[in-house]
C-alpha cells in the first residue's frame, strides 16, 4: 500500500472506542463468518467440485500442450472423457451418499452458472475439432482409419527427411508416397472421418511439398484438358476451311446447272405464290386461337362479377374491395411475367391469390385462367416479392396503444398478466434447397424437406413477427436466437417489451422476458397446474392462427420450391394476406397443439432450468392466480 493510501486511513487513536468495536465486528463478519448450514455446500459436493477442478485443469493443460502442431484428438481424449464423466455426475439428479444431489447447489446456485459455462467452452472446442470422427464410438481409442492415415503420413515425412538436401530427388522419389497420402485424405474427407489433427497434419505436409520443396503432383486430367483445348483452338480453322470448300462446290454446281431467264422467272413466281399461301395460313390460325382465348376470359370475367362478397372471399381469401386496393398498390410494379395481351395486373393478382389458396397443380390453375403454366409460376414469384416488400408493415411488432390492447386482451381472455405476444411453430414443406450450405439440416427422417415457421401473435391471433428460413431440425431456442427479434430480445429487452413478456412452450429458455410452463413432473400444486392451463390457452392463440393460415392458404402444404429464400417469401406473403383476412373476418381460436415435437429446453445438452429472474417471475404469477384483489382487477379494466 502506498504512503498516500495509508495516510487516508484513520489511525487507531482517532477512532472512538465504540466505533472501533463496531468496525472490529464488521471485519470479523466479512472475513470469518459463514453462511447458515442449509445454504452451505455438502461435503460430497465439495469433493465432486475438487475432482472437477483437477480434471478441468488437466484437460485444459493438454489442449494448450498439443495446440501446435495440433494433436489434441490423439492425446487429450482420456482427459475429455474424465471431465465429461465428472460433469455428468454433477449435473445429474442422481442421489449420492446421504441422499444428496449436487445438481442444484453446484450448477444452478449462481446467475452465471460457472461450472456449466466452463464445461461448455471446452466442449465447444472439442466439438469444433471433430475429434469424435477420429475416435471409436465411446472415444476410448483412435480409429483404424486414423492410425492408418498417421502411418501413411509418417512414410511421406520420412521420405522428405531422407532427401531434404536434394529437392529434385525428393520430388521424384517421394511422389508415390505423397500421392497415396493425398488419395487417402480425399477418401477420408468424402467419408467425413477427418478431425483437426489430420486436417492440420495434411495442411502442413502440403505446405512442405509445394512451398518448401517446390514439388508438383501432376493431375491425371491434364491430358484430356490439353486435348479438348487443342480441339477448341483449331475449331475456327476447321470451320472457315469447310466454309470455303463448301462455297467453291456451290459455285461449280451453279455454273454446271445454268438455267435460262424464262425458267428462272417461272420458279420465282411459284415460290412467291407458295410463300403468300403459308403467310396467310399462319396469320389466320393465331387470330382464331386468340379470339377463342379472349372469349374464354370474357366468360371468366363475367363469372367473377356475378360472385357475392362471401363467395369471392371463399375463393380468394380477400374481399373485392381489398383485392382492388391490392391491385392499385401493385399496378406500378414492373411485372415481367405479364406478357400476353389482355392479361392485366388484375388477372395476375387473382391468379396468384387462387394459386396460394388451393392445392391445385399449377397446370390446373393455368387451365382455369387460360394461360400457360410457366406464366402462373413466374407471376406467383413476382406477386410474393411485391407483396412482401410493399405490404411489409402489415406484420409489425405492437407498440404503445397496440401493445396495451394486446396485454389487456390476453388478461381478459386468458387471465395471465403482462403478456404481449405468444409464439407458435410449424413445418412448411419444400423441395431440397439449393441455396443453403447444409440442405440435410432441412430433411426429416422420412426424407422430406421443410423449413420451420416461427410466428408471434397478439391476443387476436394477428401475426406480429414471422420467420420461415431456418432448418426444421434446429431447436426452437436456436432459431429464436438467430432471428432479428431474438437478437433484439438479447440486446435490449426493455426497449422491445417495456416490462412485458412473451409466452412460449417448454422448448424455449425461461427468462423474465420469455415465460414458459412449469415442467410437469406429476408433483405440481394446484396453482402451478392452473398456471400451465392458462399458458396452454394462450399458446392456442398462436397455434390456432397457424392452423387457419394453412387452411386458408393451402399452397403452404405443398410448396414446390427449391429455394429457402423463395419459400420464406411465400410464407411471409401468406402471413401478410392472413392479417388482411382478419380485418374482415373473426376467426374462432380452437385449442390446437403444436405439430413440432421437440425436447424441452432444460433437457437439451446445453439447457438449464431458466434464469433466476424468470423462475421468480413465473412463481409470482402462479401464486397470484388465486388472488382476486380489487387493485389487480382494476389494472386491466
- Range of weakest confidence among 353-367, 490-504, 574-588: 574-588
331 and 298 belong to one structural domain:
yes
Tell me if 13 is assigned to some domain. Answer: no
Q: What is the widest separation between alpha-carbon atoms in the chain?
A: 144
- Range of weakest confidence among 89-93, 203-207, 389-393: 89-93
pLDDT at residue number 83: 92
446 and 521 belong to one structural domain:
yes
Residue range 479-484: mean pLDDT, rounded: 93
- 520 with 532: CB under 8 angstroms? yes
What letter does residue 443 receive in the DSSP assignment?
B
- Phi, psi at 423, each rounded to 5°: -125, 140
pLDDT at residue number 425: 94
- Phi, psi at 450, each rounded to 5°: -165, 155
Residue with more model confidence, 341 or 446: 446
pLDDT exceeds 50 at position 377: yes
pLDDT exceeds 90 at position 100: no
pTM value? Answer: 0.53
Chain segment 42-76, per-residue pLDDT in tens:
788 888 889 999 999 999 999 999 999 999 999 99
- Range of weakest confidence among 88-92, 111-115, 216-220, 302-306: 302-306
Per-residue confidence band for 450, with pLDDT thresholds at 50, 70 and 90: very high
Instruction: Spell 272-304 as b/e; 16+ CB within 10 A means b.
Output: eeeeeeeeeeeeeeeeeeeeebeeebeeeeeee
Residue range 231-243: mean pLDDT, rounded: 78
415 and 355 belong to one structural domain:
no
pLDDT exceeds 50 at position 37: no
Long-range pairs for 628-634 at CB < 8 Å and ≥24 separation? 632/417
pLDDT at residue number 232: 80
Hunting for cell 475416435 — which residue is that? 135
Last residue of a domain, one of 212, 237, 268: 212
The verdict on whether omega for the bond into residue 207 sits within 30 degrees of 0, i.e. cis, is no
Distances 179 to 198, 199, 208, 220, 416 between C-alpha atoms, Å: 16, 16, 14, 11, 69
**Three-class DSSP labels, 566-583:** HHHHHHHHHHHHHHHHHC
Tell me if 535 is assigned to some domain. Answer: yes
Within 10 A of 85 (CB to CB), how many other CB atoms are there? 12
Residue range 234-251: mean pLDDT, rounded: 69
Q: How many residues does this entry show for the chain?
A: 637
Residue with more model confidence, 340 or 99: 99
Residue range 489-505: mean pLDDT, rounded: 92
Tell me if 512 is assigned to some domain. Answer: yes
pLDDT at residue number 40: 60
- 608 with 509: CB under 8 angstroms? yes
Per-residue confidence band for 605, with pLDDT thresholds at 50, 70 and 90: confident
pLDDT exceeds 90 at position 396: yes
Last residue of a domain, one of 212, 236, 262: 212
Per-residue confidence band for 632, with pLDDT thresholds at 50, 70 and 90: very low
454 and 591 belong to one structural domain:
yes
Tell me if 18 is assigned to some domain. Answer: no
Most confident of 127-141, 218-232, 277-291, 585-599: 127-141
- Range of weakest confidence among 92-96, 222-226, 483-487, 536-540: 222-226
Alpha-carbon distance of 380 to 394, in angstroms, equals: 19
119 and 156 belong to one structural domain:
no
Please provide the average confidence, as pLDDT, over all residues in the chain. Answer: 79
- 413 with 449: CB under 8 angstroms? no
The proportion of the chain whose per-residue pLDDT surpasses 70, expressed as a percent, equals: 76
Per-residue confidence band for 256, with pLDDT thresholds at 50, 70 and 90: very low
pLDDT at residue number 125: 93
pLDDT exceeds 90 at position 4: no
pLDDT at residue number 634: 40
pLDDT at residue number 449: 93
Alpha-carbon distance of 347 to 316, in angstroms, equals: 12
64 and 197 belong to one structural domain:
no
Tell me if 8 is assigned to some domain. Answer: no
Output the nine-digit C-alpha cell for 174. Answer: 517421394
The proportion of the chain whose per-residue pLDDT surpasses 90, expressed as a percent, equals: 37
Tell me if 19 is assigned to some domain. Answer: no
pLDDT at residue number 277: 56
Residue with more model confidence, 333 or 310: 333
451 and 596 belong to one structural domain:
yes
pLDDT at residue number 236: 83
pLDDT exceeds 70 at position 25: no
Alpha-carbon distance of 636 to 388, in angstroms, equals: 35
629 and 570 belong to one structural domain:
yes
Domain count, the chain: 5
- Of 469, 470, 471, 467, nearest to 441 by C-alpha is 471
510 and 626 belong to one structural domain:
yes
228 and 308 belong to one structural domain:
no
Alpha-carbon distance of 87 to 129, in angstroms, equals: 20
pLDDT exceeds 80 at position 365: yes
Tell me if 264 is assigned to some domain. Answer: no
Range of the domain at 321: 290-390
Per-residue confidence band for 502, with pLDDT thresholds at 50, 70 and 90: very high
pLDDT exceeds 50 at position 403: yes
pLDDT at residue number 233: 81
pLDDT exceeds 70 at position 214: yes
pLDDT exceeds 80 at position 512: yes
pLDDT exceeds 60 at position 23: no
243 and 365 belong to one structural domain:
no
Most confident of 168-182, 327-341, 591-605: 168-182
Amino acid at each position: 500500500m502506498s504512503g498516500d493510501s495509508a495516510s487516508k486511513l484513520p489511525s487507531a487513536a482517532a477512532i472512538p472506542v465504540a466505533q472501533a468495536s463496531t468496525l472490529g465486528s464488521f471485519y470479523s463478519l466479512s472475513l470469518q463468518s459463514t453462511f447458515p448450514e442449509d445454504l452451505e455446500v455438502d461435503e460430497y459436493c465439495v469433493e465432486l467440485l475438487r475432482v472437477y477442478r483437477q480434471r478441468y485443469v488437466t484437460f485444459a493443460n493438454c489442449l494448450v500442450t498439443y495446440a501446435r502442431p495440433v494433436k489434441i484428438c490423439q492425446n487429450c481424449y482420456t482427459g475429455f472423457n474424465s471431465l465429461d464423466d465428472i460433469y455428468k455426475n454433477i449435473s445429474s439428479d442422481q442421489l449420492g451418499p446421504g441422499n444428496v444431489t449436487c445438481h442444484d447447489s453446484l450448477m444452478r446456485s449462481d446467475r452465471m452458472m460457472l461450472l456449466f459455462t466452463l464445461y461448455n467452452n471446452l466442449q465447444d472446442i472439442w466439438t469444433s475439432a471433430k475429434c469424435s470422427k477420429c475416435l471409436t464410438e465411446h472415444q476410448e481409442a483412435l480409429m483404424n482409419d486414423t492410425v492408418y492415415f498417421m502411418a501413411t503420413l509418417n512414410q511421406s515425412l520420412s521420405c522428405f527427411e531422407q532427401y531434404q538436401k536434394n529437392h529434385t530427388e525428393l520430388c521424384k522419389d517421394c511422389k508415390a508416397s505423397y500421392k497415396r497420402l493425398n488419395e487417402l485424405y480425399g477418401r477420408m474427407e468424402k467419408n467425413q472421418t477427418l478431425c483437426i489433427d489430420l486436417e492440420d497434419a495434411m495442411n502442413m505436409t502440403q505446405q512442405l511439398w509445394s512451398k518448401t520443396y517446390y514439388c508438383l503432383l501432376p493431375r491425371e486430367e491434364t491430358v484430356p484438358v490439353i486435348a479438348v483445348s487443342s480441339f477448341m483452338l483449331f475449331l475456327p480453322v476447321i470451320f472457315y476451311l469447310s466454309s470455303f470448300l463448301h462455297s467453291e462446290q456451290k459455285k461449280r454446281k451453279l455454273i454446271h446447272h445454268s438455267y435460262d431467264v424464262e425458267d428462272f422467272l417461272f420458279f420465282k413466281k411459284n415460290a412467291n405464290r407458295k410463300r403468300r399461301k403459308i403467310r396467310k395460313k399462319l396469320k389466320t390460325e393465331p387470330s382464331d386461337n386468340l379470339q377463342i382465348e379472349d372469349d374464354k376470359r370474357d366468360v371468366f370475367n363475367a363469372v367473377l362479377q356475378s360472385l357475392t362478397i362471401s363467395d369471392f372471399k371463399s375463393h380468394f381469401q380477400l374481399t373485392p374491395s381489398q383485392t382492388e386496393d391490392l391491385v392499385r398498390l401493385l399496378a406500378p410494379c414492373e411485372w415481367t411475367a405479364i406478357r400476353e395481351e389482355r392479361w392485366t395486373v388484375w388477372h395476375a393478382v387473382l391468379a396468384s391469390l387462387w394459386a396460394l389458396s388451393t392445392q391445385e397443380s399449377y397446370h390446373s390453375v393455368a387451365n382455369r385462367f387460360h394461360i400457360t403454366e410457366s406464366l402462373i409460376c413466374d407471376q406467383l414469384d413476382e406477386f410474393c416479392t411485391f407483396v412482401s416488400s410493399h405490404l411489409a408493415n402489415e406484420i409489425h411488432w405492437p407498440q404503445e396503444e397496440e401493445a396495451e390492447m394486446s396485454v389487456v386482451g390476453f388478461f381478459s381472455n386468458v387471465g395471465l398478466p403482462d403478456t404481449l405476444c405468444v409464439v407458435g411453430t410449424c413445418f412448411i414443406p419444400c423441395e431440397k434447397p439449393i441455396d443453403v450450405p447444409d440442405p440435410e439440416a432441412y430433411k426429416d427422417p422420412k426424407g422430406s424437406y421443410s423449413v420451420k415457421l416461427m410466428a408471434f401473435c397478439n391476443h387476436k391471433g394477428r401475426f406480429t413477427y414471422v420467420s420461415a428460413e431456418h432448418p426444421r431440425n434446429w431447436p426452437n431456442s436456436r432459431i429464436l436466437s438467430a432471428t432479428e427479434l431474438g437478437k433484439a430480445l438479447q440486446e435490449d429487452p426493455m426497449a422491445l417489451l417495456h416490462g412485458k413478456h412473451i409466452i412460449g412452450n417448454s422448448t424455449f429458455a425461461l427468462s423474465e422476458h420469455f415465460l414458459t410452463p412449469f415442467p410437469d413432473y406429476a408433483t405440481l400444486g394446484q396453482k402451478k397446474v392452473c398456471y400451465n392451463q392458462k399458458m396452454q390457452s394462450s399458446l392456442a392463440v398462436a397455434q390456432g392462427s397457424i392452423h387457419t393460415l394453412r387452411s386458408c392458404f393451402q399452397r403452404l402444404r405443398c410448396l414446390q420450391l427449391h429455394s429457402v429464400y423463395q419459400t420464406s417469401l411465400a410464407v411471409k406473403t401468406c402471413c401478410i394476406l392472413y392479417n388482411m383476412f382478419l380485418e374482415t373476418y373473426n376467426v374462432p381460436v380452437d385449442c390446437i397443439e403444436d405439430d413440432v415435437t421437440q425436447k424441452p429446453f432444460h433437457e437439451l445438452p446445453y439447457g438449464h432450468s431458466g434464469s433466476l429472474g424468470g423462475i421468480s417471475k413465473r412463481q409470482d404469477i402462479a401464486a397470484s392466480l388465486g388472488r382476486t384483489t380489487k387493485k389487480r382487477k382494476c389494472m386491466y379494466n
